[in-house]
Amino acid sequence: MKDGEDTKTAVGSVEEVLPNSLFRVRLPVDGEAGEGAEGKLVLAYLAGKMRLHRIRVLVGDQVEMVLDPYGGRARIVRRLT
């Protein structure tokens, strides 16, 4: 990405760990959804710096992601908890 481009970030919760550093991450529900509402699932992969420094991401972790502009995938850039 070039400098100055808008990047959309989101915080989600890891639901499932898949092979090859892929994860299923649940995004929170926007707006006025009720108590039992479920968020959208996104397929996410680890950013290069996280692979380089061998940062582990486990089920249940909160992660910060940069969303793909087309909507199906995301890049995990930070592990929050």
CATH of the domain at 50: 2.40.50.140
pTM, rounded to two decimals: 0.81
Owning domain of residue 23? 9-79
- Residue 69 confidence (pLDDT): 86
Evaluate whether residue 68 is within a structural domain.
Answer: yes
Evaluate whether residue 36 is within a structural domain.
Answer: yes
- Residue 4 confidence (pLDDT): 52
Evaluate whether residue 33 is within a structural domain.
Answer: yes
Number of independent structural domains in the chain: 1
- Residue 70 confidence (pLDDT): 83
- Rounded to an integer, what distance in angstroms lies between the CA atom of residue 24 and that of residue 41? 6
Evaluate whether residue 72 is within a structural domain.
Answer: yes
Evaluate whether residue 1 is within a structural domain.
Answer: no
35 alpha-carbon distance from chain centroid: 22
Evaluate whether residue 4 is within a structural domain.
Answer: no
- Residue 1 confidence (pLDDT): 52
The segments of the chain whose pLDDT lies below 50 read none
Evaluate whether residue 2 is within a structural domain.
Answer: no
